[in-house]
Amino acid sequence: MTKEYFKELASYNAWANAQVCNWILQLSNEQWGQQVTSSFNSIEATVLHVVSAENIWLQRFQELEHTEWLQSSFSGTKEELVDIWRNVFRDIKTFLETFEESKLHAPLHFKTLNGTPDAKPYYQVFAHMFNHSTYHRGQLVTMLRQVGFTEVASTDLLNFYRQS
């Protein structure tokens, strides 16, 4: 694993998230909040979870002592959540661009959501974060179709490579 590999994944993550953001902004409020069976019970809840996860990892990368889990505190609009997400995935990409490759195996010290101290090598955290987002984007594609939104396209990594 190299810095270049994770920079590429950060670019892919930004590309795929941007597609999902564009789809989400086309949804009606009814579709946004409609009950759909998945890991979370709506598109809104699933998006909030992904944004929360990416955001808290970004805060941990920035070594913020007090992090915010948006899933517990966010009560804004769909548009506000999309704006937050766009900023977060842009900032993650910027972080990876400036990250020192020699630190890939160094531990990132952080607190879990319940406050327990933990540490994982940066490369494992990066791999987890991008995999987690990919997993939930796949769910979102299915959920979007279930609420009647058919303008979805593939967010697969191979499609990113084809368009790059």
Give tens-digit pLDDT for 68-116: 999 999 999 999 999 999 999 999 999 999 999 999 999 999 999 999 9
Domain that holds residue 71: 3-163
* Whole-structure pTM value: 0.96
Whole-angstrom Cα distance, residue 108 to residue 105?
9
Domain count for the chain: 1
Sequence-ordered list of residues with C-beta below 8 angstroms from that of 83, at least 6 positions apart, any chain: none
Q: What is the CATH number of the domain that holds 112?
A: 1.20.120.450
In the predicted model, is pLDDT for residue 24 greater than 90?
Answer: yes
- 3-class SS of residue 78: helix
Query: Hey, what are 15's tokens?
Result: 């590309």
The pLDDT value given to residue 1: 86
Give tens-digit pLDDT for 29-58: 999 999 999 999 999 999 999 999 999 999
Alpha-carbon separation of residue 1 from 90, 103, 123, 124, 146 (angstroms):
22, 12, 7, 10, 37
Give tens-digit pLDDT for 117-146: 999 999 999 999 999 999 999 999 999 999
In the predicted model, is pLDDT for residue 164 greater than 90?
Answer: no
